[in-house]
Amino acid sequence: MSSERERIAGLRIQRMTERLASLSPQLLEIEDDGHRHVGHAGAADGHGHFKLRMVSEAFRGKLLLARHRAIYAALGDMMQTDIHALSIEAKAPGEA
């Protein structure tokens, strides 16, 4: 069971990485955080919990909300179909 969850999380991380490439990240780290949410009601739907750390020139001069919206837009339908929770750290170069 755990290995199947890890396999699915790995596929989701790969898809997330592909979609976030549109923001030209200088740094992109995505961590499966699902193991911390086993038994959580939100995890029952099979959608994942992830931590995202990203540094991109696309974030320069943008407020936090605009940075998060850009990430959500890049991820598109994955926010409804694959991701239950996403912790985001989004910075411009020099802020990291």
Q: Could you report the per-residue pLDDT of 16-66, keeping only the tens digit for each?
A: 999 999 999 999 999 998 765 555 555 555 568 899 999 999 999 999 999
Domain ranges of the chain: 2-91
pLDDT of 2 higher than 50: yes
3-state helix, strand, coil in the chain (%, to 5): 50, 25, 20
Alpha helices (H) along 25-88 = 64-75, 78-81
Residue 6 is predicted with a pLDDT of: 84
Q: Which helix (H) or strand (E) holds 4?
A: helix 2-20
pTM for the predicted model, two decimal places: 0.85
Residue 68 has pLDDT above 70, yes or no: yes
**Superfamily of domain covering 2-91:** BolA-like (3.30.300.90)
Q: Does 71 have pLDDT greater than 50?
A: yes
Q: How far apart are CA 25 and CA 16, in angstroms?
A: 12
3-class DSSP state for residue 93? Answer: coil
The predicted structure's pLDDT at residue 1: 45
pLDDT of amino acid 11: 92
**Neighbouring C-alpha atoms within 13 Å toward the C-beta of 7:** 4
Q: Is the pLDDT of residue 93 over 90?
A: yes
